[in-house]
Amino acid sequence: MIPEETSLLVIDYQEKLMPAIEGARETLVAASFLIKSFQALGLPIAYSEQNPERLGATVPEIGSLLDGCPRLSKMSFSCLGCSVFDSLPIGPSVVVCGVESHVCVLQTTYDLLDNGFRVIVAEDACSSRRRRDHEAAVTTMRQWGALVLPSESIIYGLLKEAGTERFRAVLELVKEKDRLLA
């Protein structure tokens, strides 16, 4: 992974969706870790909200981290269905995380791959209402050519080495994530 070519796309962690999501707490902890790590590395982040009038805003624990990041308000399941997608600071490598894995994450991943992006799916920061739907989506995205990894693997792949200030900043975020999941 080349940090200067990598961005994060955060998909639909919304108020009315999250209570029904399998493993929501763990998913949100992994998503927060990704967002904070991308911020520590100075890499671009954008996020989406599916039909926010009906599904609500991004949950506060994620939304508060995204203040100032570009937001897509969408009706299409794929983020690429938004007319403003092309103006986002995205790519050519895109890390995706979000809900639901088998709907918006899946369709966004397909469209990104179809448009020539390299896609890395943060598996632990994605979920669906049913575990089997999430698992089927992950298998499919991998078969399509997306790289599917845990959030820590993605961040360490962007860091490349230990002993730097950026590494130390991310290490603190890893410890925070571990404390929250303990």
Q: Return the active site residues.
A: 12, 74, 104
What 8-state DSSP symbol labels residue 116? T
Q: At what angle do helices 106-114 and 131-144 cross, to 10 degrees?
A: 10
What is the secondary structure of 64-99 as a DSSP string? Answer: GGGTTS-EEEESSSSGGGSTTGGGS---SEEEEEEE
H or E stretch at 126: strand 118-127
